[in-house]
Structure 1
Amino acid sequence: MYRLISPSVFLLVTAVGLSATVSYHEAVKLAETSRFTSLAEQASNSIVSRVGNHISLLHATRALYSANKGEVSEQAFSAFVSGLDLSGEYSGVQGIGFAKVIQPDAEPDIAADLKRNYNLDREVWPESSEDLRTAILLLEPSNPRNIAALGYDMYSDPVRRTAMQSAVELKDAVASGPVELVQEITEDKQAGFLVYLPWYAPGADESEEADENPLDGFIYAPFRAGDLHRAALEPGAQLPVLVETFDVSGNEPIQLYKSGGFESRVADSGPKVIVSAEVAGRNWEFNIYPTRQFRDPSDYYPVYGLGVGVLLIAFFAAALSHAQFRAGMTARALATANRQGLEEKELMLQEMKHRLKNAIARIAAIARQTASNSEDLEEFSQSFQSRMISMANAQDMLTRSQWSRADLRELLYSEVSQVLGDDVADEALSGDAVELNEKATQALGLVFHELATNALKYGAVTDAEGVLSVSWRIDGRGRQRSLLIEWVEKRAPIAIQADKKPGFGTRLIDMNIKLELSGTIEREIGESQTRILIRLPNASVS
């Protein structure tokens, strides 16, 4: 329970602090969005206002026509347009022109006017099956792009024709849908549109009661959308925005403009503002994105600082709560440790007592059996001493492993090398790594000692023709798994006494294998070979 206090304090303070940090972050983000929304509206208003300013020029041009009762020469028109400063304050428009409404049979008159005004040999173009034509008669300023448009019948194009018809119906300036201007004579082409203002014959009344007055033509302005947007957005300090403009008046939106280098300049994240506007009878939609320069990382430094401060406060609060409970927890831990120490000490004493009793009982049994099978004191002393050394070796291995397990190879090597020598032990042993439990270690230590002693006495394995081979492996799986040890002595042929009774060593081996370890042992004793097969159950292996 005490362990949960410090984490709980840390999590509680962190949760409250991070909640405040998130709220602060959202406030900064909201302020950023509000600021960008203002910039986006400023950008869209700038574009719409510039179109409105250009439409006011069309009304001024219509006033010129009204003042001169429609009799405006090319020189007067050129002088008037030159005074409008289209390349300066009113940049973004390609020019101002007049398209005269004629019947198809009046096309030669237009060609004559173009020859007289611009010294241009050109007829009305392109060919059209419409019963009405609106040929461009005047277009200023006079430059190669505008000269290329003279004589063009705008009524022949469906998009332009729709806009002109709407202008007549509304008796006001109306923009066309996106088109490619006939001025686009270079490879640098842009989407464009036109704005038409109807002009009626001299003496006509333009009020609603004068709907029957004849239409003489259209005062119009061609726009390149890219030039218009740049003129609206780039004067002075350039706004940190990127713009996509679409004409959405039809069934499908048509792109009019997209800021240059859009993909490389747009911010990876940030607000997006969509502004809809009505531009001379058309519906435009501005999708406005921030540039990479819009977001100032320093705006979020206080947020990051607050977050770090919250974590520090939470850490110190948790540390303080931990310190308050540490003394009590330490006292409790010391009391528990003392109690456990006493319990472990008592357990160790009981374990030592139990092991000593078992060892004394084993030693007493070996002493009795050794004494009963010894001819004299010297033979008893040698046999008893070697068996005690074998027990000591097993005990030493168990002590090194904290009385839990011992390595089978190490145990075999210890007993075989003790009796037969290191050279015999090095060559004789082969098998996988196997660990024995405490009980099997003590029992097999005596068994291997007796087998090695018998091999020395009767097997002649140390003679020139004698060979000892000890191998082992794990046989079977799961509960059927067992340890299989094969002891083979090869020697020169000797006579075998068939009726010889087993001695104490043999009985000691059987007692340890069968009774102590619940295993089996098989002996095959021939004139030139002794083979002993020991099988121990899975419980003997750690």
Structure 2
Amino acid sequence: MASGVLSERRTRGRIPPHILPLVVLAIGLLASAAAGWQVERLSRAKDQERFQGAVQQAQDDILNRMQAYIGVLRATAGLVAAEDGAVTREQFAAFAQRLQLARVYPGIQGVGYSAVLPSAEGPQAEAALVRYGAADITITPAEPRPQVHAIIHLEPLDRRNRAALGYDMFAEPTRRAAMERARDRGRSAMSGRVELVQEIDDQKQAGFLIYHPVYRGGAPPATVAERRARLLGFAYSPFRADDLLRGIFVREQQPRIHIAVYDDAIAPQNLLHKSFAGAPDQMARTAWFTAVRPVEIAGRRWQIAYYSTPSFEGDSTRGLGLAFFAGGLVATLLVAGASAWQARLRLAAEAEVAARRESEQQRELLVGELNHRVKNTLATVQSIAAQTLREGKSLEDTRDSFESRLLALSETHNLLTRDHWRGAGLRELVEVELAPYAGARERIDVTGEEVWLAPDTALALGMALHELATNALKYGALSGAEGRVRISWRRRAEAGADRLRLVWEEAGGPPVTPPTRRGFGSRLIETGLRRQLRGEVELAFRPQGVCCTIDLPLEAAERATA
């Protein structure tokens, strides 16, 4: 007994066989998902670290290159100061040639000297230009102003830089702000975004300039007033932003990051350079990683937006977590499949038994339904035959009437069978019953909304419409050329239930007199609809034409078919 109790307790503690595979699957999935998530998290962290490293490297490259350019300007300022500003074009060209700007400093547009002049024109200005060895240049703009500066030297003297000789940069506000800052602080200063005078082609680029002040005398001036008084001019370099930044990153065949460089603040009008096609906003939405870093160059701040590139993303281990999860899932499925084999066989056997039982029940249901439909149909045919024979017509007329009524019943059956005896639309039912009278169809007006009828309702209304149409063709409005029939119906709510009101109205036919006795058609319409569908029927034989009004509860008819 103790052994039986122990066995019962063990059985209760076990997991049911059909549940065990689900338990194994759930545990395996959780373990695989946890491992995949952990691997994916580490991959993302590694990618973030790589991206930050690439951003820092780019920051350093830009700063180092710009510091090298500033070093060139300091050397240029030293040359000019040593000659007290009187450096000839030949001397300046020889100095620039030794710098090897294109090879050692790629991206720089040139190095030049802008001198302070006594005026924009006149003998004093001409004497100063002769002293600098630049008598052939023209100072622009020419109008008088408090301070006049002019670009005296600019190397290399290509066609772009030649267009800038003689230009007074102090006359333009953005350049003047940087020149004043360099003059008063005694160190290099970078301008904001400008369009360089060198932009003489259609393909223009955003530009900027860096200025370094040149003072006369020995030691650098100590005060702002002294610096302004001893200013000779500026050593400067113009930069085309696209050329400069492409030159800094020219060695990267497959760059890991894209950049967008803005002057001072991130705004479309401040964009200096972008290394990609398309809009920065679109790039920010598609890149895996983005970052914005400020960089301070010669007293002015840039904002640089960084975006990871497809090349960077291609080297990512992202997705390895999915591979781990897939591997764990495969292993889990194998284990769960092995444990589910016997349970699956048992469930399959039980399902087969249940399917056979359900099939048997369905067969019995179908046989019962068929029996019910056949009985109803036979009862209807029997009633039609009996009533037709009672009319006392000739054998041929009796046969024609009986066949036409059976055909009407058949057409309604076909309509219901098409929709699996779920019902039929009233408009389609009307068209089906009127189809045999195609020659008079243009004189029959049909109006009404779409109403769905239950099967028994459709059968009864179909027979009633057939009788009305047959009577109209033989004796009523459709027996003559001028007669017309109007069929209309509407659905309405009454006391919380839906009702259907259908009116058959004839006009223009032979004069109508009330019949002395009721035929099968009248009995079918008045008695059949009232008893079968609990409706109300009014059949009026008016002199101008027959009028039949049928009013029945739709919900009652639907309940009767249930």
C-alpha distance after superposition, 1:160-217 (max 9, x if no partner): 4433333344332222334444555666654443323334444x33496999687353
Post-superposition offset of 1:50 = 1.9
| Residue of 133, 144, 156 corresponding to 1:118 | 133
CA, structure 1 residues 34+269, in 2 after alignment: closer, same or farther (shift >3 Å)? farther
The amino acid of 1:198's aligned partner reads: P
Equivalent in the alignment of 1:172: 187
Matches within 5 A, 1:374-389: none
Confirm or deny: 8 A CA contact 2:260 2:275 kept in the other structure. no
| Residue of 188, 205, 212 corresponding to 2:219 | 205
Equivalent in the alignment of 1:462: none
Rounded Cα–Cα distance in structure 2 between residues aligned with 1:501 and 1:151: 125
**Higher mean C-alpha deviation, range 469-478 or range 157-166:** 469-478
Equivalent in the alignment of 2:14: none
The amino acid of 1:51's aligned partner reads: M
**Higher mean C-alpha deviation, range 214-223 or range 336-345:** 336-345
Post-superposition offset of 1:281 = 0.7
Equivalent in the alignment of 2:63: 48
Equivalent in the alignment of 2:286: 269
Matches within 5 A, 1:41-440: 41-64=56-79, 75-101=90-116, 111-112=126-127, 114-115=129-130, 118=133, 120-122=135-137, 126=142, 128-130=144-146, 134-143=149-158, 146=161, 149=164, 154-183=169-198, 190-202=205-217, 204-206=218-220, 215-226=230-241, 227-235=243-251, 237=253, 239=255, 243-248=259-264, 255=270, 257-259=272-274, 262-263=277-278, 269-270=286-287, 271-288=289-306, 296=314, 327-339=349-361, 341-342=363-364, 345=367, 393=406, 397=410, 438=459
Post-superposition offset of 1:248 = 1.3
CA, structure 1 residues 512+183, in 2 after alignment: closer, same or farther (shift >3 Å)? closer
CA, structure 1 residues 277+501, in 2 after alignment: closer, same or farther (shift >3 Å)? closer
Rounded Cα–Cα distance in structure 1 between residues aligned with 2:333 and 2:151: 79
Rounded Cα–Cα distance in structure 2 between residues aligned with 1:196 and 1:338: 99
C-alpha distance after superposition, 1:110-153 (max 9, x if no partner): 644643653634576645442x5555555444555555555555
Post-superposition offset of 1:341 = 4.4
Rounded Cα–Cα distance in structure 1 between residues aligned with 2:300 and 2:111: 20
Unmatched segments (≥5 aa) in structure 1: 415-424, 460-465, 491-499, 526-530
CA, structure 1 residues 294+469, in 2 after alignment: closer, same or farther (shift >3 Å)? same
**Higher mean C-alpha deviation, range 87-96 or range 289-298:** 289-298
Rounded Cα–Cα distance in structure 1 between residues aligned with 2:273 and 2:250: 14
Confirm or deny: 8 A CA contact 1:111 1:123 kept in the other structure. no
| SS of equivalent residue, structure 2 residue 286 | coil
CA, structure 1 residues 393+80, in 2 after alignment: closer, same or farther (shift >3 Å)? closer
C-alpha distance after superposition, 1:484-507 (max 9, x if no partner): 4879998xxxxxxxxx996xxx57
Equivalent in the alignment of 1:537: 550
| SS of equivalent residue, structure 2 residue 103 | coil
CA, structure 1 residues 239+109, in 2 after alignment: closer, same or farther (shift >3 Å)? farther
Give me the TM-score of the superposition, normalised by structure 1: 0.60
The amino acid of 1:228's aligned partner reads: L
C-alpha distance after superposition, 1:337-379 (max 9, x if no partner): 434544665676678778888988x699879x97xx99xxxx9
Post-superposition offset of 1:83 = 1.0
Rounded Cα–Cα distance in structure 2 between residues aligned with 1:471 and 1:312: 77
Equivalent in the alignment of 1:422: none
CA, structure 1 residues 532+327, in 2 after alignment: closer, same or farther (shift >3 Å)? farther
Post-superposition offset of 1:220 = 1.3
| Residue of 434, 455, 477 corresponding to 2:490 | 477
Confirm or deny: 8 A CA contact 2:174 2:191 kept in the other structure. yes
Post-superposition offset of 1:82 = 1.6
Equivalent in the alignment of 2:449: none
Post-superposition offset of 1:222 = 2.0
Confirm or deny: 8 A CA contact 2:263 2:272 kept in the other structure. no
CA, structure 1 residues 73+439, in 2 after alignment: closer, same or farther (shift >3 Å)? closer
Post-superposition offset of 1:86 = 1.0
Tell me how many residue pairs correspond in the alignment.
486
Confirm or deny: 8 A CA contact 1:243 1:289 kept in the other structure. yes
Instruction: Point out the structure with max Rg over C-alpha.
Output: 1
CA, structure 1 residues 446+180, in 2 after alignment: closer, same or farther (shift >3 Å)? closer
- Aligned residues: percent identity? 24
| SS of equivalent residue, structure 2 residue 102 | coil
**Higher mean C-alpha deviation, range 344-353 or range 403-412:** 403-412
Confirm or deny: 8 A CA contact 1:521 1:532 kept in the other structure. no
Rounded Cα–Cα distance in structure 2 between residues aligned with 1:363 and 1:146: 111
CA, structure 1 residues 510+239, in 2 after alignment: closer, same or farther (shift >3 Å)? closer
Unmatched segments (≥5 aa) in structure 2: 1-18, 447-452, 492-498, 531-536, 558-562
C-alpha distance after superposition, 1:274-313 (max 9, x if no partner): 3321111111123445677776599888799899999999
The amino acid of 2:219's aligned partner reads: D
Confirm or deny: 8 A CA contact 1:135 1:154 kept in the other structure. yes
Confirm or deny: 8 A CA contact 2:76 2:235 kept in the other structure. no
Confirm or deny: 8 A CA contact 1:111 1:122 kept in the other structure. no
Confirm or deny: 8 A CA contact 2:502 2:549 kept in the other structure. yes
Confirm or deny: 8 A CA contact 1:469 1:489 kept in the other structure. yes
Confirm or deny: 8 A CA contact 1:248 1:254 kept in the other structure. no
CA, structure 1 residues 474+34, in 2 after alignment: closer, same or farther (shift >3 Å)? farther
Rounded Cα–Cα distance in structure 2 between residues aligned with 1:359 and 1:137: 119
The amino acid of 1:231's aligned partner reads: G
Confirm or deny: 8 A CA contact 2:500 2:553 kept in the other structure. no
Confirm or deny: 8 A CA contact 1:200 1:215 kept in the other structure. yes
Rounded Cα–Cα distance in structure 1 between residues aligned with 2:542 and 2:83: 140
| SS of equivalent residue, structure 1 residue 262 | coil
**Higher mean C-alpha deviation, range 387-396 or range 232-241:** 387-396
